[in-house]
Amino acid sequence: MSSQQHSLKPFNTFNLDAFAKNLVVATTPEMLCTAWQESQRLQQPALLIGEGSNILFLQDFQGTAIVNRIEGIVVKEGAEAWHLHVGAGENWHRLVTYTLENALPGLENMAMIPGCTGSAPIQNIGAYGVELKDVCEYVDVMHLATGKIERLTAQACEFGYRDSIFKHRYQHGYAIVAVGLILNKKWQPILSYGDLNQLAPETVTPRQVFDAVCEMRRSKLPDPAETGNAGSFFKNPVITAEQAKVIAEVWPDAPRYPQADGGVKLAAGWLIDRCDLKGYAVGGAAVHQRQALVLINKDRATSDDIVALAHEVRQRVGEKFNVWLEPEVRFIGAKGEQDAVGVIA
């Protein structure tokens, strides 16, 4: 038997056959902290995992995988808003469903995003016009060396597009243990994105927005339970206004989203699609037919297949548009995270 005994297959939505030396399922912040400190004592790496819906295992993990399953949802009523304190291991979509069933709307645009609530602040999850930052009140983060828990306000989290302080200053040696959400009692539908603008703003209900979001997602995104994937493999690139002008002259139909800081976001899926890469395969990995930004484990793919495919996609898009895509997915090597661009460049 291999010394790498614990399968990580249930903990990565790419459905890859990776293993870890040790595996701990932590149901309390204390368990999580103890597991991390034990791995430090053994001088072994530790990896925090939620549901593995944004990670790509490059190799077996030579240390302790700590799976966060800290539960609990506490709702408090304020004068103008509902305040939710949510354990980091709560499944995000179940939380969205729970809020809808309990007449606490505000999360419906972010229905069906896989993963744990505690992972949501890390890349500031977002979909259909709403990001976590729009509903986040605070994040409780544990300093693993001391076990001390610090409460960061949403502002202190430095949320950006697929970015936060948890990818920078609070990345190593910290674990998110709870998330505070604030849901305004005066519900306003957000119908700016895609087909949602077909709904009537005066009469639409949170449930109808939820249903429309679920339907759009089902029509485009593969279900990881059937086809391994990690959602958008790359981030949508943000380029300068000057670069965007050049692209618009040659490809006037390229989707362009002006940003508050003057940059312009492009749709990576459109760029990949325009390179005629839908369905393109390397080994068992392929570009999804219905959404080119999603790379799938089509048929027993290895991580090498996915890396080679990602390299090819990035290269083709770069050569055609002079725009160089960066993975959204986090690449995990034998001892921890690796620089994803470096791996596929």
Residue 168 CB, shortest distance to ligand EPU, in Å, is 19
Which residue from 270, 302, 308, 336 is in contact with ligand EPU, where contact means CB under 6 A? Answer: 270
Residue closer to ligand EPU, measured from CB, 21 or 298: 298
Look up 232 and say whether it is catalytic.
yes
Residue closer to ligand FAD, measured from CB, 81 or 132: 132
Nearest to 90 by CA among 125, 123, 116: 116
Nearest to 212 by CA among 198, 226, 229, 224: 198
Look up 300 and say whether it is catalytic.
no
Question: DSSP states of 247-288 as a string?
Answer: HHHH-TTS-EEE-TTS-EEE-HHHHHHHTT-TT-EETTEEE-
Look up 101 and say whether it is catalytic.
no
DSSP strand pairing (55-57 vs 148-153): unpaired
CA distances from 339 to 76, 91, 220, 300, 345 (A): 41, 27, 28, 25, 10
Residue closer to ligand EPU, measured from CB, 25 or 190: 190
Q: Does 54 bind ligand FAD (CB under 6 A)?
A: yes
Residue 268 CB, shortest distance to ligand EPU, in Å, is 6
Q: Does 314 bind ligand EPU (CB under 6 A)?
A: no
Catalytic annotation, pick one of 51, 90, 108, 328: 328
Give Cα 19 distance to the centre of its chain.
22
Is residue 153 classed as helix, strand or coil in its secondary structure? Answer: strand
Residues 197-236 close enough to bind ligand EPU by CB under 6 A: 220, 231-232, 235-236
Residue 188 CB, shortest distance to ligand EPU, in Å, is 18
Helices 92-101 and 206-220: angle between axes, nearest 10 degrees: 150
Catalytic amino acids? 162, 232, 328
Instruction: Kindly list the residues in this chain that would bind ligand EPU in the complex (CB under 6 A).
Output: 127-128, 193-194, 220, 231-232, 235-236, 255, 267, 269-270, 273, 291-293, 328
